[in-house]
């Protein structure tokens, strides 16, 4: 039902609307793109496209703009791959090299992604499901307080504050030794179950301290998968300039909710390539005037997470997708190399 010319017209409408930011009419279309037909023909085709729900007009005498369905078709079948510009490639290289640690890497990635796409960037901290426990440290801080520190083979360090009570240094050392002996080398899941069982094996004098320490370890292991999220490039939202209160505020609110962001990125897990959610395809009402372009990154199972961007549905999908894909690849490679 949609012949080649209609598809070409849809592609032209999307392209034009994205760059011009104005509803596009039949005349402008034939002038700016080589359609080799008259405006009247284009109008007829546009009527069909509108009937099928791919485009719509804001008001009677205006040009057409793509609907979410139109963008979807464009992304799925019409988008031509747009390679990154040399300067973008260079930006990626420059940003990545010299990252100090995972924290720094994530911060750099957010900035980079926001800069090339000119959108709001979201990067999830790498989660290391498949990694194993490398070290467990118990430190007293005085005043009856202390820390439990868990280090994994992927280089991740988590800590929890605990009440140590009046436990002496040798008690701490004893417990530290037992914990390490029991848990080092185990995966998160196995460590969690082993730790639970370990409490019963401890001599009574280690019991009070052992209980809180193990509880802290279980907490670390349990919350590990949810991973944090970092957001950047929020100023790019100002390009939504029209409708501020109605459009931007909900988006800002969503961006402050870690849970929402995680779920948003979560949709991309398991996909091979870049995932695109357009407008209402989005699970959150507050983001239904935006699109999300996301991708997994990293080398499973050691470090695996997702990153992406949030922007107006009216965005340059080919470029954005290329950028997200490229950044995901680079970060993944960087992570693998250390």
Q: How many positions of this chain bind a copy of itself (CB under 8 A)?
A: 39
Query: Using CA atoms, how far apart are residues 158 and 303, in angstroms rounded to an integer?
Result: 15
Among 135, 190, 280, 325, which residue interacts with a copy of itself (rule: CB under 8 A)?
135
Please provide the DSSP assignment of 149-206 as one string: EEEETTS-EEEEEEE-TT--HHHHHHHHHHHHHHHTT-BHHHHHHHHHHHHHHS-GGG
CA gap 118, 289 in Å, rounded: 17
In the complex, least distance from residue 236 CB atom to a copy of itself, rounded to whole angstroms: 9
Return the one option of a copy of itself, DNA, none that residue 41 interacts with (CB less than 5 to 8 A, by type).
Answer: DNA
145 binds, among a copy of itself, DNA, none (CB under 5 to 8 A by kind): a copy of itself
126: closest CA among 333, 320, 275, 284?
Answer: 333
Residue 53 or 235: the one with the smaller Cβ distance to a copy of itself is 235
Mask for 102-121, x = binds a copy of itself (CB under 8 A) = x-------------------
Q: CA separation (Å) from 316 to 120, 125, 210?
A: 14, 26, 56
The partner in contact with residue 238, picked from a copy of itself, DNA, none with C-beta cut-offs of 5 to 8 angstroms by kind, is a copy of itself
Q: Report the residue number, 9 or 294, with the smaller CB distance to DNA.
A: 9
Output Rg (C-alpha) for the chain, integer angstroms.
Answer: 26
Q: Per CB under 8 A, does 36 bind a copy of itself?
A: no
* 303 phi, psi to nearest 5 deg: -140, 125
Site for DNA in 23-62 (CB under 7 A): 23-28, 36-41, 43-44, 46-47, 50, 57, 59-62
Q: Which of residues 155-184 bind a copy of itself (CB under 8 A)?
A: 155, 157, 159-161
Tokens describing residue 5: 């010319």
Q: Quote the CA–CA distance of 113 and 130 in Å, as a whole number.
A: 27
> Which parts of this chain interact with a copy of itself (CB under 8 A)?
100-102, 134-135, 137, 139-143, 145, 147, 149, 151, 153-155, 157, 159-161, 219, 232-235, 237-238, 241, 244-245, 248-249, 252-253, 255-256, 338
């Amino acid at each position: 039902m949609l012949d080649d010319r209609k598809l070409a017209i849809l592609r032209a409408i999307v392209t034009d609307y994205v760059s011009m930011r104005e509803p596009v009419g039949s005349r402008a279309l034939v002038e700016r793109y080589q359609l080799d037909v008259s405006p009247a023909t284009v109008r007829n085709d546009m009527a069909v496209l509108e009937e099928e729900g791919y485009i719509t007009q804001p008001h009677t005498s205006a040009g057409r703009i793509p609907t979410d369905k139109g963008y979807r078709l464009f992304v799925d079948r019409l988008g031509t791959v747009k390679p990154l510009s040399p300067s973008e490639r260079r930006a990626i290289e420059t940003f990545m090299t010299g990252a100090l640690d995972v924290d720094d890497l994530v911060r750099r990635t957010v900035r980079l992604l926001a800069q090339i796409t000119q959108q709001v960037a979201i990067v999830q901290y790498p989660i290391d499901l498949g990694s194993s426990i490398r070290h467990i440290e118990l430190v007293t801080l005085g005043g009856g307080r202390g820390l439990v520190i868990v280090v994994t083979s992927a280089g991740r360090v988590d800590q929890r504050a605990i009440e140590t009570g009046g436990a002496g240094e040798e008690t701490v050392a004893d417990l530290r030794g037992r914990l390490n002996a029991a848990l080092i080398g185990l995966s998160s899941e196995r460590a969690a179950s082993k730790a639970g069982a370990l409490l019963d094996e401890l001599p009574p004098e280690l019991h009070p301290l052992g209980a809180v320490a193990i509880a802290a370890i279980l907490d670390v292991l349990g919350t590990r998968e949810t991973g944090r999220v970092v957001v950047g490039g929020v100023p790019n939202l100002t390009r939504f300039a029209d409708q501020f209160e109605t459009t931007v505020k909900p988006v800002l609110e969503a961006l402050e909710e870690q849970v929402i962001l995680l779920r948003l990125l979560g949709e991309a897990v398991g996909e091979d390539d870049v995932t695109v959610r357009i407008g209402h395809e989005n699970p959150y009402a507050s983001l239904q005037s935006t699109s999300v372009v996301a991708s997994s990154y990293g080398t499973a199972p050691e470090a695996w997470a997702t990153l992406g961007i949030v922007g107006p549905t009216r965005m340059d999908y080919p470029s954005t997708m290329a950028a997200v894909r490229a950044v995901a690849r680079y970060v993944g490679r960087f992570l693998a190399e250390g």
